[in-house]
Structure 1
């Protein structure tokens, strides 16, 4: 409904045309201009045809004489325009008078001396009774004033509604942008979904603000008060807010976000904050906080403050940690942060890598337990003591609990005795990171250890909906495997993993870290190193006809887009299938 209203108003302001002008009554369209001519026309009015009006000499000359004696201050061009287009009526394609106003005047000789009688046939050039003329003039003038006031009320109403809706949507888009948005837990939607909504609400909010400003600009110009209004403080702050909101839209496009991410992040925050401040001072200086419009600004600031406070709490809870960097290959690294817990994904701040202390990046958590140290001891066990805990999924090993294995050691005298090797594990977060490119992540390759601030944890939102799905197809690209590991741990039904990467070193590093109980042979559908997965063949084969199938994808944008297109095709072919896109977007 709002979109239809906006389109209608824009069309009216820019494209609506008529014989009377364009725009609205009183603002581009004048239904009675000149009023003196319409008053004469109302007095000299008879029940006859358009052709009679256009050709009758008595009517034309009587009407021309009335205009010449009452519209003496109206330009001749305006009178000729009225004569040609509105003397007969307002119907499209109507008949025009047989001769112009100026020529008709030349035929009035001598001037008329008889007053027109509306009840008798007009057979000569006549005068208009002055009291009749004044009565019609007052009537026409009053009617046009009423119509103009209605237009003004309508314009002001629409303009005010656009402003209020823009304020309300500003609060909403701030809420949607927050990582700690309460709607995340209420709706179980992903943060990427809310960022998409944030962008669309921002477009609507900006359009509403522009409509609000444009309508008032048009009105003030029409009133002749623009010069005075434009110097007032409320107007200046309003222009600041609208201008910044208009700048934010194109500078937030995906190509610019990718190419100039740090600049985008900084400018986006600063411009949005100044725009919000501009909104507040706009209504403060206009209404002195007497209309309640500033409440929307308070709500937006409350959403922003709550999100920032929760971010600070997450950072303070974890404190400053030391990250350990291990090189996997030319494209990937492994990042370990000991003695910390989390799940889903975490935002990592690297204060020593950039002067932009607020810059941070989201990474999916691959593991939450880390190998600590290896201890050796003689295998002297008390009765009933279990020293043979299998080396399975290390995530299920309790902190500092040894996973033991027994080997024979050769003594100095040549005899052998059993030795127990105990692998200890401790809490910690492990990330596998793609360092291709020239951004902040590429700088991590040059470090062995570095301080890190961990904003965690933000749980994945898709786990619950995937527990009960009979068939689950996991498609990962590169380090997208990190988003699949939680699903691999919790699911018990049919599940197949298809994983593509640049080279096999990443697969070896991840497999070694996870242990043999996660990437078991009956789950692995295909691990492709150095080549693309044939997604069409895979999904056509794996999406079975019976029961629902969930397709989970996490990888490059091209992989996600291709998967989405194939799943849509399968859905149109009556396959019961749904897509879960775990690709994190900004």
Structure 2
């Protein structure tokens, strides 16, 4: 909305200036431009504005020529503009027309010498008043109007870029508003305790059938599928691949920038600034691409920040905005390179390249272009994945230098281009300010009753069997409300790389004040528990005992009753240092008070409005699935309303498919966070291990209760004490078959089966397989399927 508003205002403003002001000023403008390079004897010889404003011979000649060729109504506004130039640029007053009344009569003007453009080179010191020939005036008029048109076009095309993104964001916000209203209406349902009552399906409404048909076609052909084949999360020759919708937007923006960089160059022989065609074209191309590059900078910064109101307003993920950010950066950099090449060629043609190269503004432009080019190289996906901390540091430092360099580069234009540069500064400062606000909100809490400032505490543990660092963070804030779909950025400010911050998905949370989550609301018979061999709890292996037995290391005073749980796979950098700290600890557990969290970020997907939910996770991607399962337990607890039992979820069945390299991680989480749900009749889980050979079946006993940390005792003790089997299959799950079988079954049952949501968080191949399967189901006519992908965009 904001970019669209700015674009409309800018377009009307620029159109108004061109049509209303320049139209009655262009005649005088053309005349004084023609006289500007002529040297008259007397005051201001060789000085452009001083001679135009105070040299009596030149001023008299300008007045006489204006009276000859300009309309009477153009005289006053034209010379008002010239008087303003004299005041602004020469700090002198324009000699008034009244001083030359005797020399502006028709008889005097007719006696003045008329000079043509070809004669200009012969006059080095004009000693009398002269009159421009009509051909000379027309050439000057065409030169001025062409320059004004090109200048107007440069900025108008630049503002049109904001119109493009304003339109895209506006459509996305409208779509998000419709989705929110739709899901809000379905968020609460009335049914019996067994969820057997039929649920109303809005898609059955005949009046809305055409809308649903169009919506299904758009989702099946534009929103869900990959742009080609099945590549999206997987790299294609080390290139990130957007979704089809994202690709359409990105390619459209590339096309618009290319077209805008090539349109409307009015070069002609006889131009007073550059007589030949070549330097004119080089100058116009240089200015156009430079201004478009500047215009892209606010967009570049807007799509880069994580505290972005448009992420919330559109419902798009940060990964989507990151894709836009990267492509805008590439476009702006290529435009800067073309801008530099074009100006270099023009200066070489004019023979004054070396002279300009010594100027600070020129040098800073070169620095900015070179650093922008290096930013593209250092932002390659290969470097981002392997050396993220180095990439981030280079990115920030180079970006700051580029902005400073651009301020110096266009400083010679007296701030004309600063409106393009200050928005990135404001966006960056605002984003950093909100990060600080979030840090304070999450980590500090002043309790006035005890006059004590409480802060965040963290318990970190690592198990070789799970190959994952488990972080239990007790936030300092008493107002933090964890929800599914959230992720937080973790800081360790007192370390030697305290500037680093890393995003992690909230894997689970516990709350001492919400104990009802541990009690299943769906009755489960013993026969069910014995027969369903793929859902159950598992005892934590001896190697992971340290990851759960840390009663002696709990904080002495918890700032809040909430504990946030993260599972971190150690690779390089900060995660590896955290793993090593746990390994070096005497009992494998590290208690810290110097880890801060910033958040929450992310949006909760409305999976509770779907009758069937399939959660597909790979490795630590289980962190995206567990919070939705926890949320389902809470929502499936019945509440009394108007004499009826109501539930805040429509979900009747949850299918969890989790594959992991380490069986130890499966056992650990199944015994802890998943323990309350594995015995429920509305949650079914299938576990797969890709590293260990052979299927495994383990039994959880009441001894597992002793492995649960004190923070979790109240919530998990009942579930952990159950005896049931868990079967971990060897190999990979048939993700495509699972999705298609469920989707076809629901399609066959019709409206009574309700809708299905498929949420995926895991390796790139798994996510792409799931997306392709959903696309296939939609092409087969399944209209009730929704695809949700949880992924952090590199």
For normalisation by structure 1, the TM-score amounts to 0.62
Distance 1:508 1:258, change over 3 A: same
Q: CA deviation at 1:226?
A: 1.2
Maintained 8 Å contact 1:337/1:428: yes
- 2-structure distance, mates of 1:252, 1:364: 23
> 1:355 aligned to 488, 493, 496, which one?
496
Distance 1:153 1:393, change over 3 A: farther
Distance 1:148 1:543, change over 3 A: farther
> 2:769 aligned to 529, 544, 562, which one?
562
Cα-to-partner distance string for 1:514-540 (whole Å, 9 max, x where unaligned)? 364444353224221333222122122
Partner of 1:207: 334
> 2:414 aligned to 281, 288, 296, which one?
288
The within-5 A match list for 1:305-320 is: 305-317=429-441, 318-319=443-444
Tell me, yes or no, if structure 1 residue 579 matches structure 2 residue 784. Answer: no
The within-5 A match list for 1:99-178 is: 144-146=269-271, 148=275, 152-178=279-305
Partner of 2:759: 552
Tell me, yes or no, if structure 1 residue 434 matches structure 2 residue 569. Answer: yes
Distance 1:370 1:452, change over 3 A: farther
Q: CA deviation at 1:218?
A: 1.4
Tell me, yes or no, if structure 1 residue 541 matches structure 2 residue 700. Answer: no
Q: CA deviation at 1:161?
A: 2.4
Partner of 1:484: 625
Aligned to 2:498, the other structure's residue is in SS state coil
Distance 1:550 1:222, change over 3 A: farther
Maintained 8 Å contact 1:170/1:205: yes
Unaligned runs of 5+ in 1: 1-137, 373-387, 395-423
Partner of 1:500: 659
Partner of 1:419: none
Q: CA deviation at 1:567?
A: 2.9
Q: CA deviation at 1:455?
A: 3.3
Distance 1:362 1:316, change over 3 A: same
Partner of 1:26: none
Q: CA deviation at 1:183?
A: 0.9
Maintained 8 Å contact 1:165/1:205: yes
The within-5 A match list for 1:24-423 is: 144-146=269-271, 148=275, 152-284=279-411, 286-289=412-415, 291=416, 293-317=417-441, 318-319=443-444, 321-328=456-463, 329-340=465-476, 341-343=480-482, 344-351=486-493, 354-369=495-510, 391-392=518-519
Partner of 1:509: 668
- 1-structure distance, mates of 2:577, 2:681: 36
Distance 1:277 1:444, change over 3 A: same
- 2-structure distance, mates of 1:463, 1:389: 23
Maintained 8 Å contact 1:348/1:455: yes
Distance 1:367 1:287, change over 3 A: same
Maintained 8 Å contact 2:626/2:674: no
- 1-structure distance, mates of 2:419, 2:371: 21
- 1-structure distance, mates of 2:288, 2:627: 47
- 2-structure distance, mates of 1:161, 1:390: 61
The CA RMSD measured in Å over matched residues stands at 2.9
Q: CA deviation at 1:200?
A: 0.9
Maintained 8 Å contact 2:605/2:788: no
Partner of 1:443: 577
Aligned to 2:456, the other structure's residue is in SS state strand
Q: CA deviation at 1:453?
A: 3.6
Distance 1:450 1:565, change over 3 A: same
The structure, 1 or 2, with the larger RCO (C-alpha pairs under 8 Å, 6+ apart) is 2
Maintained 8 Å contact 1:335/1:433: yes
Tell me, yes or no, if structure 1 residue 522 matches structure 2 residue 682. Answer: yes
Q: CA deviation at 1:339?
A: 4.2
Cα-to-partner distance string for 1:365-396 (whole Å, 9 max, x where unaligned)? 12332569xxxxxxxxxxxxxxx9784389xx
Aligned to 2:410, the other structure's residue is in SS state helix
Q: CA deviation at 1:298?
A: 0.6
- 2-structure distance, mates of 1:536, 1:300: 44
Point out the structure with the larger strand share. 1
Maintained 8 Å contact 1:173/1:202: yes
Q: CA deviation at 1:557?
A: 2.1
Aligned to 1:256, the other structure's residue is in SS state helix
- 2-structure distance, mates of 1:480, 1:309: 30
For normalisation by structure 2, the TM-score amounts to 0.47
Larger radius of gyration: 1
Maintained 8 Å contact 1:348/1:452: no
Instruction: Please identify, of 505-514 and 268-277, the stretch whose mean Cα deviation from structure 2 is larger.
Output: 505-514
Q: CA deviation at 1:584?
A: 1.4
Point out the structure with the larger helix share. 2
Aligned to 2:593, the other structure's residue is in SS state strand
- 2-structure distance, mates of 1:468, 1:152: 63
Equivalent residues, number: 397
- 1-structure distance, mates of 2:382, 2:612: 36
Distance 1:274 1:166, change over 3 A: same
Aligned to 1:463, the other structure's residue is in SS state coil
Cα-to-partner distance string for 1:542-572 (whole Å, 9 max, x where unaligned)? 2233565432111122222332333333344
Maintained 8 Å contact 1:549/1:578: yes
- 2-structure distance, mates of 1:298, 1:453: 34
Distance 1:253 1:565, change over 3 A: farther
